[in-house]
Amino acid sequence: MPIIRVEMFPGRTKEQKAKLAEAITQVMVDIGGAPRDHTWVVFREEPKENWAIGGKLSG
């Protein structure tokens, strides 16, 4: 049972996340050989203020 975690900034619509979930799942099935019905995609949205790049906060 693969679990794919996607961390990103908030702002994508439910429809965009649905398309991402479908595409990520398909790649895991095609390349990873995982069964579709056992592949989990988990989205975690974190505000920009919680991210730092190069020592500087993004938000």
Beta bridge partners of 21: none
Catalytic (active site) residue 2: yes
Six-digit token pair at 51? 């991210």
Quick check: 9 and 47 in contact, CB under 8 A? yes
**Helix, strand, or coil (residue 40):** strand
- Give catalytic residues, as residue numbers: 2
